Amino acid sequence: MTKKALIIIPCFNEEQSIAILLGELSMIDFSGHYDVNVIVVNDGSIDKTAEVVSQFDIILLDLTVNLGIGGAVQTGFKYALENDFDVAIQVDGDGQHPPAEIQKLLNVYHETKSNIVIGSRFITKRGFQSSALRRFGIFYLHWLNKVFTKKNIYDITSGFRLFDKKAIALAARYYPDEYPEPESLVIFAKAGFSIAETPVMMKPRQGGQSSIRYFSQMYYMIKVTIAMFFSYIRKVK
């Protein structure tokens, strides 16, 4: 029986990269196992992201205000829940996540039946590895997540992730706003969800700018630490 899969692409000012990403996605054949739909959530971009996306035969949710990465991705989860998708796969709009690697997430999902599957840069350390400073920050978050969840997740900030129906339902109801990747893993672990990780090849961002700059990384780490702590003590009904 063919299952329904939704690829969720959150975008904020990604006019330089989104056309390449959508072109690569159109070349992937998922036939036989999944009926795949693609949705782009344009998070209040002020460039030509929406104009570029509208040239492709995909679903565009054009948010009138900027909700941030967490709100944009949650919009995709709500769509997936309302339209009864079996799995949802988050792919960042900056081109770092090659569409050809999506099959690896699907394979691990089939093998493990995990609620969440994370595409990791750091298991085999192939492909783009980010800067040394950011890797140190990710190592710290890996340790912090292990303290809170007892789970050994290496690429805790990876936005390349697959969610099953149970994870979609929870994320559609509650999903962190500012630091969704590390925060949500604490929430998913508290809910008793199984989380798997698989090595993938990633690329440097293909355009635009990251919202995290070198001068703000210490501030970012402090904020994420506090956010993960409150996610740990928070009760999510």
116-140 burial code (b ≥16 CB/10 A, e <16):
bbbbbbbeeeeeeebeeebeebbee
pLDDT for the residue numbered 211: 47
In sequence order, the β-bridge partners of residue 89 are 7, 162
d(CA 139, CA 158): 12
Percent of residues, the chain, with pLDDT higher than 70: 89
- What the block records as the tokens of 11 is 């975008």
pTM across the whole model: 0.87
d(CA 129, CA 101): 16
d(CA 42, CA 73): 10
In sequence order, the β-bridge partners of residue 9 are 40
Instruction: State the pLDDT confidence band at 233, using cuts at 50, 70 and 90.
Output: confident
Question: Residue 13 sits in a domain of what CATH number?
Answer: 3.90.550.10
Q: Which domain holds residue 85?
A: 3-233
Q: Going by C-beta distance under 8 Å and a sequence separation of 6 or more, which residues neighbour residue 176?
A: 70, 183, 184, 187, 227, 231
In sequence order, the β-bridge partners of residue 188 are none
In sequence order, the β-bridge partners of residue 195 are 116
Interval 72-87 mean pLDDT: 98
pLDDT at residue 41 is higher than 50? yes
Q: Which residue has the higher pLDDT, 217 or 26?
A: 26
Interval 103-113 mean pLDDT: 95
Q: Please state whether 133 falls in left (phi above 0), alpha (psi between -120 and 50) or beta.
A: alpha
Tell the residue number behind the tokens 């002020």, with chain if given. 46
pLDDT digits (tens, 9 = 90+) for 173-230: 999 988 899 999 999 999 999 999 999 988 776 555 544 444 467 787 888 888 888 8
Domain count, the chain: 1
Cα–Cα nearest to 71, from 220, 180, 164: 180
CB 3 within 8 A of CB 109: no
d(CA 119, CA 183): 17
pLDDT for the residue numbered 131: 56
pLDDT digits (tens, 9 = 90+) for 130-174: 656 666 777 888 888 899 998 989 888 899 999 999 999 999 999
Interval 27-55 mean pLDDT: 92
pLDDT at residue 59 is higher than 90? yes
Q: What is the CA radius of gyration of the chain?
A: 17
Instruction: State the pLDDT confidence band at 95, using cuts at 50, 70 and 90.
Output: confident
Please name the amino acid found at residue 182: P
